[in-house]
Amino acid sequence: MLSKKNFYLLFVGLMAMQTANAQNWGGGVDDDNLHFGFTFQYVSSEFKFLKKRDWQEPFQSVDEGIPFTGTRLRSLSSKPSPGFGIGFVVNKRLGENADLRLTPTLVFNDRLAYYEFEGEEAIIEKKVQSTMVEFPLGIKLKSDRRNNFRAYIIGGAKYSIDIGSKKRTNDASFGAMEKFLKNKKNFLSYEAGFGFDLYFEYFKMSPELKLSYALNDILKNDASPYSKPIDKLMLRHVTFSLFFE
């Protein structure tokens, strides 16, 4: 059975062959000084932990006058978590081979962290639920067009805002081991990727693969056994998009 990655590559290859062999459609939106479109995205996100020197030491606190001492942390890890997004495209033509692109997007994506404590039978999963409004701004550098095909690379920065409910982070009445792992509501990322413009009679479709990485620490530090071992918490996104313009 084909993996998702191989399926995407096969899909892009077939579409490129089809458009290359088809009749040469008109330039369309590429000739417009400013044009718009929309996008659908598949997102995979993963935490990257920078641990403190004493990250394995037990967490200690006094909650409502009751002392609490946890057990030693054995491991701390993350794994990719899928999500999806929908958004718009605002494209400013800079020249024959360059565009300025703003692609505001609404993204639904969970992030996962796993804690293994000594003496615990099960690994504790901490899920950070997020609903993000993202504003990627990038420069798109395009090759010359060959029939109905054009390759490009893109790079830039992205500002992200979490508009999720406060209930997801309101854990004031919870015990130490029931606390949430909290993220900051907004942060900056840098991103880079590549894609292909495939031309059809009435529109252009662009499959794109992009990697983004948080520029700053996204951990909202509080007194909990889940934030205590972390010096900095970074976030990596891999995004596969389909643009229609």
pLDDT at 184 over 80: yes
Question: What's residue 77's pLDDT?
Answer: 95
State the CATH number of the domain containing residue 148.
Answer: 2.40.160.20
Tens digit of pLDDT for each residue in 90-130? 999 999 999 999 999 999 999 999 999 987 778 999 999 89
- Which residue range is the domain that position 215 belongs to? 4-244
pLDDT at 27 over 70: no
Question: What's residue 224's pLDDT?
Answer: 87
Mean pLDDT across the chain: 86
Based on the structure, what is the number of domains in the chain? 1
Question: What's residue 66's pLDDT?
Answer: 56
Residue range 32-45: mean pLDDT, rounded: 95
Calpha distance 61→53 (Å, rounded): 19
Question: What's residue 240's pLDDT?
Answer: 97
